[in-house]
Amino acid sequence: MKIGITCYPTYGGSGVVATELGKELASKGHEVHFISYAFPHRLKHFVENVYFHEVEISSYPLFEYQLYSLSLTSKMLEVIEYEKLDLMHVHYAIPHAVSAYMAKQIIKKNNQDIKIITTLHGTDITLVGLEPSFLPLVKYSIEESDGVTAVSRFLKEKTITNYHINKDIEIIYNFIDTDLFKPAKKCQYKKHVAPNDEKILVHTSNFRTVKRVPDTIRILELVKKEIPAKLLLIGDGPDRSECERLARELNLQNDVVFLGKQDGLADILAEADIFLMPSQSESFGLAALEAMSCGVPVVSSSVGGLPELIIHNETGYIAEFGDVQRMAKYTISLLKNEKKYSVFSKNSRDRSINVFNKEIIVPQYEKYYEKILSS
């Protein structure tokens, strides 16, 4: 099968999932063509059966803003025609689904056809897509896709409700490479970050307001009153300066470590004791799944798709978003009870392997591709 994949090539969850999916499909013998404005972040090395096509952006002085959607459509047309693709799988509705739809209509004029599958990831539906300037386009491009998948039951229901869409949406959860993200002895990195054997709390995100990163610092403040602890913050974004200010204000500047964007996430997570995800909105929570696969219990908010991922009082704890006191209480109770922590750690790892392992999820995509191609 020849598959085109369009995604954002950056650190965000949709780009990570799309890239990992492409790599797995390639390993199964499919020919995968990535189409984007930059080389996907997770595609670090040469992978057999994987090809990359860069979208060239026009800088003509007449255009005040870059015309990425049109440039993307043009590149999709080129790849579809010359590589004889069977289907295009676009991740994140804006603007990828719209560009794919336009490409499909132009291809039809040449008596060709291409199947379009759109995977919805979260803020493309719950935030950006709801803006009045985008909503009609997002709704139309979803309805005109040959197939639509969502990464959680929550996101499927939100899409149907927000856009009044009468279309079958397949739920295919995000997945994890449990051989890469796995438990390890907490020794190398921990000696550097927590020389006095402090407990390590970790959070990773793009530091947007919706992620509520300052809440992780307030949780640390409460935890430290009972247990020596450090907080590792991985990632970067608009709220980082506010987080640095808050850490200094609470006199925690020596206990909050800002690591910025990191590639070796698996190694860092394997050293963690608790993963914090206090988000205000989260359609799935891929970062939490990566931690769980490393045997790290998660303390999170009870929003979006997180309750589908985290089993309360088994693999971690969930609380109302903004309830810093309760999240800190849950964190302390786990860190103080070695037996309970060990059980939660094992449950987290087992759930990752038994429900979200790539060997389980990727075949679901293959089966869905075949269903759409034969429809």
For every residue of 230-276, DSSP letters joined together read EEEEE---TTHHHHHHHHHHTT-TTTEEEEES-S-HHHHHTT-SEEE
Do residue 108 and residue 256 come from a single domain?
A: no
Do residue 344 and residue 279 come from a single domain?
A: yes
Min mean pLDDT across 67-71, 244-248, 249-253, 364-368 is at 67-71
Min mean pLDDT across 9-13, 165-169, 243-247 is at 9-13
Mean pLDDT estimate for the chain: 92
Do residue 168 and residue 229 come from a single domain?
A: no
Do residue 151 and residue 196 come from a single domain?
A: no
What are the residues whose beta carbons fall under 8 Å from the beta carbon of 12, sequence distance 6 or more? 206
Q: List residues bridging with 33 in a β-sheet.
A: 4, 51
Report if residue 180 sits inside a domain: no
pLDDT band (50, 70, 90) for residue 147:
very high
| 334 contacts 275 by C-beta, under 8 angstroms | no
Q: What is the DSSP string of 290-327?
A: HHHHTT--EEEE--TTHHHHS-BTTTEEEE-TT-HHHH
Do residue 142 and residue 11 come from a single domain?
A: yes
Do residue 138 and residue 221 come from a single domain?
A: no
Do residue 201 and residue 141 come from a single domain?
A: no
Whole-structure pTM value: 0.91
Q: Among residues of the chain, what percentage have pLDDT more than 90?
A: 73
| 26 contacts 33 by C-beta, under 8 angstroms | no
Q: Which tokens go with 83?
A: 């590589």
CA distance 357 to 369: 19
| 285 contacts 262 by C-beta, under 8 angstroms | no
Residue 238: how many CB atoms within 10 A of its CB?
11
Do residue 204 and residue 106 come from a single domain?
A: no
Report if residue 234 sits inside a domain: yes
| 87 contacts 117 by C-beta, under 8 angstroms | yes
Q: Which tokens go with 97?
A: 């689904």
Report if residue 71 sits inside a domain: yes
Report if residue 182 sits inside a domain: no
Query: What's the pLDDT at 45?
Result: 81
Report if residue 183 sits inside a domain: no
Q: List residues bridging with 240 in a β-sheet.
A: none
Report if residue 32 sits inside a domain: yes
Tens digits of residue pLDDT in 212-240: 999 999 999 999 999 999 999 999 999 99
Min mean pLDDT across 2-11, 25-34, 99-108 is at 2-11
Do residue 304 and residue 276 come from a single domain?
A: yes
Read off the pLDDT of each residue in 100-118 and give the average, rounded to a whole number: 92
Report if residue 169 sits inside a domain: yes
Number of domains, the chain: 2
Do residue 261 and residue 336 come from a single domain?
A: yes
Domain span at 219: 188-355
Query: What's the pLDDT at 154?
Result: 95
Query: What's the pLDDT at 189?
Result: 67
pLDDT higher than threshold 70 for residue 309: yes
Query: What's the pLDDT at 135?
Result: 85
Q: What is the CATH number of the domain that holds 304?
A: 3.40.50.2000
Report if residue 19 sits inside a domain: yes
Q: Which tokens go with 24?
A: 């797995």
Do residue 125 and residue 200 come from a single domain?
A: no
Query: What's the pLDDT at 3?
Result: 97
Do residue 134 and residue 15 come from a single domain?
A: yes
